[in-house]
Every structure is written in structure tokens, then in C-alpha cells.
């Protein structure tokens, strides 16, 4: 489709199709995929960009607005009193207690907010100091529940969204005293199931209810198992399981974590469980038997969630693919990250004729991987440099002889191009025997929750 006549190192002449946009068998009833077809504004608009969702940002602004409005109203209704005599007597039990609730941005704002509510500056300053001592330099908005007896502070609870915070009350002698409030967080597992639409993995996942911050992690979990351009198609079923920490009100605290990823196509099914091995720098994905999803080479060496509407190329006969076309074309927006498919030494990085910005990597087993038409090659990717699997080497572009933004990816074995789908690369290592019990426990907990009615 993309790069007829790529002057690739092996120098094999490719066959163009009739309209010159493809290199597939001209008898193929399915039209060649044109990467321009996905480059519509609405397709780009759905590309994953911001790691923070609007729904998470919005409340913060609202909180500050409420806090400011509350402080102003309290000030208007109840001007602050002058500091009284040094000793503040505790309010008599019969005295009316005024309950107020407001939000403040930080512990440092507590004293001023209490003063604005009409609390004496001595009480306000004491409570502010006590609260700051308990809360430390924790950040994030606090919810204040204040009880006031005339101008005296009767009690104060300041909590973060996780339920953690401080309670300030009068002790037996009437002095303000603080005790800490531990966070009340529980874990919540949620599963979302959907089908791939015809546009992209990203739009399919978001439509099914996968939070946008999880889509990249979800798609990338499968980059060793699936060629996300050719091996998935509309109607394929996926399922995502994610864990959230929730407070006593059931509100999520902090970002969700993807713990389960499932993808089923007519030809293969994968279920992956996230597990963090002790001593490992980060969590990894394992199948149900405890074998790592990692392979010596990635099937999808681009940010998988951004691949657009290439679904359907699977219809091309593999024989034709191998004969007519030397690699895989991953259609994706300009700028989409491209990763080293495996541990490698860079053997070429630069502009090269029809290949455009081009990187060739040499792998320890004698294989090579080639990446064409890049918009840019990352700094430091220079011949002779050794890089680890997953290192970003460049970004998707349309340089050289290319009709639209895409990555043209080739695997060569002993100098000969092969269809990436036709090879099986070495599998990942298994979880050590001593860690299997912990893995099985976590896996079974996920499976048990999946089996529950939703």
C-alpha cells in the first residue's frame, strides 16, 4: 500500500497494484488500504493524548470555587472577632453549635478559612498549627467540617479524598487537641467488555467504557502477541479489568490500574494478568499459566492504541503478502511513538531515499528489523548504539515514498525479508516456582470477580 519500490537493502523489486497505491495481488477483491483514509480530523480527535481525564480535573476547580465562595459568604455573614483574652474557655454544652462544611486547597489555608468563618484568631491559629502538624506537607484539597460555638472552635475534621486527615477536638481541659484519621480505602475491581469497531482500538475501548488513561496500557499489553494492524478486526472481543482505590463514599482515589487484559480473534485468544514480581522494577503481563507475555520481538512495535482502521487487512492472503509486500504497514497518526521491537544494536539511522527516515536494528539472534518513513528519529539512535527492547527509536511519519502516515516494518532473517506473522519468536520467561503461589492467588481473585454477575 505504501511504499512501492522501497529501495530496501535486499533490492527486491515490488509489484504495484493498478492504481499505484499498493503492492498487493491485483486480483485481491479487497481494495488496498489507503492510509489517508484514516487521517480525518475526527480520527485524530480521538487519539489518546492527555493522561489526565477531564472528569478528574474538573472537580478540583469546582472545589476551589466552592471554597472561595464559602469563605466570602462566611466573611460577609459573620465578621471575624478581635482576638480575645489568651485563655479560651470551652463552650458550655447548652450553647448552639454551628456546623459548617467547606473545602480548602491545602493545610496552610485552614487557619485563614476558620477566621473567615468567624472563629477567633487564637482558635484558628491553634487549629491550623495542630492540623498542619498532623497532615504534614500533604497536598491536595481538604474537606473541612467545622463546628463553631459562637466564636469558639468546637471541633474540626479535615479530610483528604481518601478519608485520611485529622480530627481536632476539645480535650477534658478544654484545650484543642488533634488526632490523625487514617485513610479508609478499599479496592474495587471493574471489568469492561466490548467489541472492536472499524475505526481504532482506542475508540472501541473508550466506547466500551475503558477509561482513556488505561487504553494505551491495554493495547500495549498485547503488542507481543498480536499484530494490531492485521491480526485484529471489527467484531473481535476484548475485556479490560482495572483496579481502583475508593474512599468510604465509593469515589476513586488516584488513577486506576489495569490488571487484566483479554483479546479474542477468530484465530487466537489471549488473557493476560498484571503481576509485579518481587524485586522487579515494574509490573509485567503474564498468561494464566504464569508465562510472561514478553517475546524476543514485538509484533506491534508502535504505540498500539493509536493504530487506526487498518483492521481488515487480515483478508490478504499470506502467500500474496509475503511475495508482494515485504513488511507490515501500521497506519497511525504522525508522531505516534515507534519502539525497538527487541534488544538491538542500531546498524543504520538516517534519511535513505524512498525509505525516508529509516532505522535498521540488528538483533542478537541474527535477525534485523527495519522501520521506514519516520517523521523523526529519536536523538541518540545512531549506528553502533545498543538499545533495549521498547526503547523509542522514532515517531510515525510519511517521509520518503509514502502516501500517508504509517510505519512500514520489516523483519529480515539472514538478510531475507519474512512475513512477521509467519514467525514465532522466543517466548517470555515463566514466573519462578517460589512466586507461583502469589501469582495464582492474584489470578484467581481476578477470575472470581470476572465470574460474578455484573
Start-to-end CA distance of the chain, whole Å, equals 44
Q: What span, in angstroms and rounded, lies between the C-alpha atoms of 360 and 340?
A: 10
DSSP character for 355?
G
Closest-CA residue to 148 (of 107, 120, 171): 120
What phi, psi does 339 have (nearest 5°)? -115, 150
Q: Which is nearer to Zn ion, 159 or 399 (CB)?
A: 399
The piece of 279-287, 321-329, 377-385, 440-448 that touches Zn ion (CB under 5 A) is 321-329
Q: Which is nearer to Zn ion, 319 or 437 (CB)?
A: 319
Q: What span, in angstroms and rounded, lies between the C-alpha atoms of 308 and 212?
A: 16
Q: Which is nearer to Zn ion, 16 or 143 (CB)?
A: 16
Q: Which is nearer to Zn ion, 277 or 421 (CB)?
A: 421
The piece of 246-254, 329-337, 383-391, 392-400 that touches Zn ion (CB under 5 A) is 329-337
Q: Considering only residues 378-417, where is the footprint of Zn ion by CB under 5 A?
A: 408
Report the nearest approach of Zn ion to the CB of residue 201 (Å): 20
The piece of 1-9, 26-34, 129-137, 349-357 that touches Zn ion (CB under 5 A) is 1-9
Q: Report which secondary-structure segment, H or E, holds 445.
A: helix 436-451
Cα–Cα distances in angstroms (integers) from residue 295 to residues 92, 374, 381, 394, in the given order? 72, 24, 22, 21
Residues in binding contact with Zn ion, number by CB under 5 A: 4
The piece of 2-10, 120-128, 279-287, 339-347 that touches Zn ion (CB under 5 A) is 2-10
Q: Which is nearer to Zn ion, 354 or 430 (CB)?
A: 354
Q: Which is nearer to Zn ion, 165 or 417 (CB)?
A: 417
| 306 scored as a contact of Zn ion (CB under 5 A) | no
Q: What is the DSSP string of 195-251?
A: E--SSBHHHHHHHHT--HHHHHHHHHHTTTT--TTTS--TT-EEEEEEEEEE-TTS-
Among residues 244, 284, 329, 368, the one that binds Zn ion under rule CB under 5 A: 329
SS (H, E, C) 402-429: CCCCEEEEEEEECCEEECHHHCCCCCCC
Let me know the angle formed at the C-alpha of 355 by 353 and 357, rounded to the nearest 5 degrees.
90
Report the nearest approach of Zn ion to the CB of residue 24 (Å): 10
Per-residue binder mask for Zn ion (CB under 5 A), 205-234, x = binder: ------------------------------
Among residues 3, 158, 176, 431, the one that binds Zn ion under rule CB under 5 A: 3
For residues 450 and 259, the answer to whether their CB atoms sit within 8 Å is no
Report the nearest approach of Zn ion to the CB of residue 58 (Å): 43
Q: What span, in angstroms and rounded, lies between the C-alpha atoms of 383 and 372?
A: 16
Question: Taking the mean position of all CA atoms in its chain, how far away is CA 238?
Answer: 17
Q: Which is nearer to Zn ion, 24 or 439 (CB)?
A: 24
Q: Which is nearer to Zn ion, 31 or 84 (CB)?
A: 31
| 332 scored as a contact of Zn ion (CB under 5 A) | no
Q: Which is nearer to Zn ion, 207 or 334 (CB)?
A: 334
Let me know the angle formed at the C-alpha of 10 by 7 and 13, rounded to the nearest 5 degrees.
55
Report the nearest approach of Zn ion to the CB of residue 25 (Å): 15
Q: Count how many Cα atoms sit within 13 Å of the Cα of residue 91 in the half-sphere of its side chain.
A: 19
Report the nearest approach of Zn ion to the CB of residue 267 (Å): 23
The piece of 3-11, 33-41, 227-235, 409-417 that touches Zn ion (CB under 5 A) is 3-11
Q: Which is nearer to Zn ion, 274 or 326 (CB)?
A: 326
The piece of 45-53, 105-113, 322-330, 441-449 that touches Zn ion (CB under 5 A) is 322-330
Report the nearest approach of Zn ion to the CB of residue 47 (Å): 21
Q: CB nearest Zn ion: which residue? A: 408
Residue that has been written with the C-alpha cell 510515525 in this structure:
396
| 302 scored as a contact of Zn ion (CB under 5 A) | no
Residue that has been written with the C-alpha cell 504509517 in this structure:
406
Q: Which is nearer to Zn ion, 227 or 329 (CB)?
A: 329
| 152 scored as a contact of Zn ion (CB under 5 A) | no
Query: Starting from the edge strand earliest in sequence, which strands make up the sheet with 269-275, in order?
Result: 186-195, 237-246, 252-264, 269-275, 284-286
Q: Which residues bind Zn ion (CB under 5 A)?
A: 2-3, 329, 408
Amino acid at each position: 500500500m505504501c511504499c512501492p519500490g522501497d529501495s530496501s537493502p535486499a533490492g527486491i523489486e515490488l509489484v504495484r497494484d493498478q492504481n499505484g497505491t499498493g503492492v498487493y495481488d491485483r486480483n485481491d477483491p479487497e481494495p488496498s488500504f489507503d492510509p489517508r483514509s484514516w487521517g480525518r480530523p475526527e480520527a485524530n480527535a480521538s487519539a489518546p493524548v492527555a493522561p489526565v481525564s477531564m472528569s478528574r480535573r474538573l472537580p478540583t476547580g469546582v472545589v476551589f470555587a466552592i471554597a472561595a465562595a464559602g469563605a466570602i459568604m462566611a466573611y460577609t455573614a459573620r465578621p471575624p472577632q478581635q482576638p480575645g483574652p489568651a485563655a479560651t474557655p470551652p463552650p458550655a454544652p447548652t450553647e448552639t453549635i454551628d456546623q459548617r462544611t467547606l473545602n480548602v486547597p491545602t493545610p496552610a489555608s485552614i487557619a485563614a478559612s476558620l477566621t473567615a468563618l468567624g472563629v477567633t484568631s487564637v482558635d484558628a491559629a491553634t487549629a491550623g498549627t495542630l492540623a498542619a502538624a498532623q497532615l504534614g506537607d500533604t497536598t491536595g484539597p481538604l474537606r473541612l467540617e467545622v463546628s463553631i460555638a459562637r466564636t469558639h472552635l468546637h471541633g474540626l475534621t479535615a479530610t483528604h479524598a481518601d478519608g485520611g486527615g485529622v480530627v481536632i477536638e476539645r480535650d477534658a481541659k478544654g484545650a484543642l487537641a488533634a488526632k490523625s484519621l487514617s485513610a479508609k480505602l478499599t479496592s474495587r475491581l471493574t471489568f469492561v467488555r466490548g467489541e472492536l469497531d472499524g475505526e481504532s482500538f482506542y475508540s472501541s475501548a473508550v466506547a466500551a467504557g475503558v477509561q482513556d488513561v488505561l487504553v494505551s496500557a491495554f493495547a500495549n499489553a498485547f503488542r507481543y502477541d498480536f499484530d494490531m494492524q492485521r491480526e485484529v478486526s471489527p467484531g473481535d472481543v476484548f475485556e479490560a479489568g482495572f483496579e481502583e482505590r475508593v474512599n468510604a463514599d465509593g469515589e476513586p482515589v488516584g488513577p486506576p490500574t489495569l490488571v487484566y487484559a483479554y483479546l479474542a480473534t477468530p484465530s487466537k485468544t489471549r488473557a493476560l494478568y498484571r503481576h509485579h514480581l518481587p524485586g522487579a522494577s515494574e509490573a509485567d503481563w503474564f498468561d494464566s499459566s504464569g508465562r510472561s507475555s514478553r517475546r524476543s520481538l514485538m509484533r506491534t512495535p508502535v504505540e498500539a492504541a493509536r493504530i487506526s482502521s487498518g483492521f481488515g487487512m487480515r483478508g490478504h492472503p499470506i502467500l500474496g503478502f509475503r511475495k508482494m509486500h515485504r513488511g507490515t504497514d501500521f497506519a497511525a497518526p504522525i508522531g505516534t511513538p515507534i519502539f525497538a521491537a527487541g534488544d538491538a544494536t542500531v546498524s543504520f539511522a538516517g534519511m535513505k531515499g524512498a525509505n525516508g527516515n529509516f532505522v535498521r536494528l540488528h538483533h542478537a539472534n541474527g535477525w534485523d528489523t527495519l522501520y521506514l518513513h519516520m517523521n523523526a528519529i529519536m536523538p541518540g539512535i545512531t549506528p553502533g548504539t545498543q538499545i533495549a527492547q521498547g526503547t523509542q527509536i522514532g515517531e510515525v511519519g510519511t517521509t520518503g515514498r509514502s502516501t500517508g502516515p504509517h510505519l512500514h516494518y520489516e523483519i529480515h532473517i539472514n538478510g531475507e525479508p519474512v512475513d512477521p506473522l509467519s514467525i514465532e519468536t522466543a517466548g517470555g520467561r515463566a514466573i519462578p516456582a517460589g512466586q507461583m503461589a502469589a501469582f495464582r492467588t492474584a489470578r484467581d481473585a481476578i477470575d472470581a470477580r470476572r465470574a460474578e454477575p455484573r
